């Protein structure tokens, strides 16, 4: 999409699977320029199927395509200094960075929130985790099915045993609320345009 209410925004999408990509896609659908940054191995969902489309040697997962439209693609190996430098330069130009690494991974790669805001004080950071950034379960991976089970949703579905709902509703809602939080933070940033007014950099954690 080349036009829309968010056409002046640059979003860096470092997320994988569904919740984060869905949040970034919503901003892309409204006109933001979204650069999806993947490791050399690619987003997990590139292999989720069937169904796939395309020729056998160039087939693509429809699951991946359904949540990554309106994005540009860039491969960076953030374990290398050269590619970390590329990301740092992108961060300096961006309005939003989205990530859903396990807790501590982005820090180990050299991009804790403190450094992100050194590079770009106005950057809005959306950080999605399964169980929060601190606490006894912070380092656990979180997937939709886990959220449905531990949240109790499965206890009211199915007939003979707990059953997950037909769509990944926990991931979709996390993505929607994440995008909503990003827009709220951007609105707040826009209300404080004077130098120094954006005194408390925002990291919106979902």
Measure CA 103 to chain center. 14
8 assigned to active site: no
* List 13, 43, 83, 171, catalytic entry: 171
Q: 141: closest CA among 195, 95, 103, 84?
A: 103
**3-class secondary structure for the chain?**
CCCCCCCCCEEEECCCCCHHHHHHHHHHHCCCEEEEEECCCCCHHHHCCCCEECCHHHCEEHHHHHCCCCCEEEECCCCCHHHHHHHHHHHHHCCEEEECCCCCHHHHCCCCHHHHHHHCCCCEEEECCCCCCCCCCCCCCCCHHHHHHHHCHHHHCCCCCCCCCCCCHHHHHHHHHHHHHHHHHHHHHHHCCCCCCCCCCCEEEC
By C-alpha distance, which of 124, 137, 133 is closest to 104?
Answer: 133
Active site residues: 171
């Amino acid at each position: 999409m080349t036009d829309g209410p968010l056409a002046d925004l640059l979003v860096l999408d470092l997320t994988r699977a569904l919740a984060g990509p869905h949040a970034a896609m919503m901003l892309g659908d409204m006109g933001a320029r979204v650069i999806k940054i993947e490791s050399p191995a690619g987003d997990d969902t590139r292999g989720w199927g069937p169904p796939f489309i395309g020729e056998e040697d160039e087939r693509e997962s429809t699951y991946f395509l359904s949540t990554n439209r309106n994005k540009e693609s860039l491969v960076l190996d953030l374990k290398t200094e050269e590619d970390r430098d590329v990301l740092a330069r992108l961060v300096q130009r961006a309005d939003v960075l989205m990530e859903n690494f396990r807790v501590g991974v982005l820090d180990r790669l050299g991009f804790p929130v403190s450094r992100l805001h050194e590079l770009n004080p106005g950057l809005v950071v959306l950080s999605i985790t399964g169980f929060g950034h601190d606490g006894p379960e912070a380092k656990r991976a979180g997937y939709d099915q886990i959220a449905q089970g531990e949240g109790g949703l499965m206890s009211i579905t199915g007939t003979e045993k707990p059953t997950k709902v037909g769509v990944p509703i926990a991931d979709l809602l996390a993505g929607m609320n994440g995008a909503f939080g990003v827009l709220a933070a951007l609105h707040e940033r826009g209300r404080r345009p004077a130098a120094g007014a954006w005194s408390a950099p925002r990291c919106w954690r979902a």
